[in-house]
């Protein structure tokens, strides 16, 4: 209940729709009229509509922070995966669209959050944009990372190569051979990969821009790229700085 000063000449009243059949004491649509003696802090803390002011991104940020505070042992079943799965992707897309950075024919990365043991990035995929095949361990330190992904808008295609298809000695800087396993990722779809599972590439094969949210645990400075022996992409397999490309 709102604390109201007995010395205040103002009144704390309610506004109830005449068309509602419920009594004001039980109606969930009753709106409080603010007394001027209430501080902003009191109002925000007690207002029945305060929860509506929490954005989807704020809620997800808090959930991810709590997830990594709970455990630093990252796996496909980490609480961060559940946090992403529970998020409303459509709301996230609407809220984060204003932060997007679009470059024709390319994809870009926009840092959103750097937490303890994880980084969150917004990836903006222009039509036809595709990443090279890449790993997820830091190429300089050897520290293994994990990638959780949530498609926010439109669709992407992920092509995965198993560890047996990765040939570190076939060419000087690494290559993958054979056909990878491709799957369509529509809006709302989650994904996970780490180097124990293999390497992958992601692309937008549609005529519209796509948005995706990526969580890296931990973050990295550089990752290794792989040349596709029978593919169209020839990334050379060289380590690449995080600031030089979009998400990997």
Answer whether 134's CB lies under 8 Å from 226's CB: yes
The reported pLDDT for the residue numbered 13 is: 39
- The two beta strands, 175-176 and 225-228, are parallel
d(CA 192, CA 215): 9
Which of residues 176 and 27 earns the better pLDDT score? 176
**Confidence tier at 138 by pLDDT (50, 70, 90):** confident
Specify the pLDDT at position 235.
42
Question: For the chain, what is the radius of gyration of the CA atoms?
Answer: 24
- For 193-246, write each residue's pLDDT tens digit: 999 999 999 999 999 999 999 999 998 878 888 888 764 434 444 444 444 444
**Gap between the Cα atoms of 207 and 119, Å rounded:** 29
Residue 75 has pLDDT above 80, yes or no: yes
121 vs 145: CA distance, rounded Å: 14
Give the span between the Cα atoms of 142 and 162, in whole angstroms.
Answer: 19
pLDDT of amino acid 173: 52
Residue 140 or residue 8, greater confidence: 140
């Amino acid at each position: 209940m709102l604390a109201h000063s007995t010395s205040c000449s103002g009144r704390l009243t309610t506004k109830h729709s005449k068309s509602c059949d419920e009594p004001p004491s039980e109606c969930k649509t009753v709106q409080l009229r603010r007394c001027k003696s209430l501080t902003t802090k009191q109002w925000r803390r007690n207002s029945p509509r305060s929860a509506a002011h929490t954005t989807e991104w704020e809620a997800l940020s808090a959930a991810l922070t709590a997830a990594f505070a709970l455990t630093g042992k990252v796996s496909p079943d980490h609480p961060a995966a559940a946090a992403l799965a529970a998020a409303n992707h459509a709301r996230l897309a609407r809220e984060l669209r204003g932060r997007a950075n679009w470059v024709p024919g390319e994809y870009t990365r926009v840092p959103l959050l750097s937490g303890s043991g994880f980084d969150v990035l917004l990836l903006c995929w222009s039509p036809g944009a595709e990443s090279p095949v890449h790993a997820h361990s830091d190429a300089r330190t050897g520290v293994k990372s994990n990638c959780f992904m949530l498609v926010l808008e439109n669709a992407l295609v992920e092509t995965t190569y198993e560890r047996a298809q990765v040939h570190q000695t076939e060419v000087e800087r690494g290559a993958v051979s054979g056909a990878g396993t491709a799957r369509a990722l529509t809006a709302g779809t989650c994904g996970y990969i780490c180097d124990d599972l293999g390497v992958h590439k992601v692309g937008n094969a549609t005529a519209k821009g796509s948005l995706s949210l990526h969580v890296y645990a931990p973050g990295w400075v550089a990752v290794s790229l792989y040349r596709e022996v029978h593919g169209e992409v020839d990334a050379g397999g060289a380590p690449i700085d995080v600031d030089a490309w979009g998400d990997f």
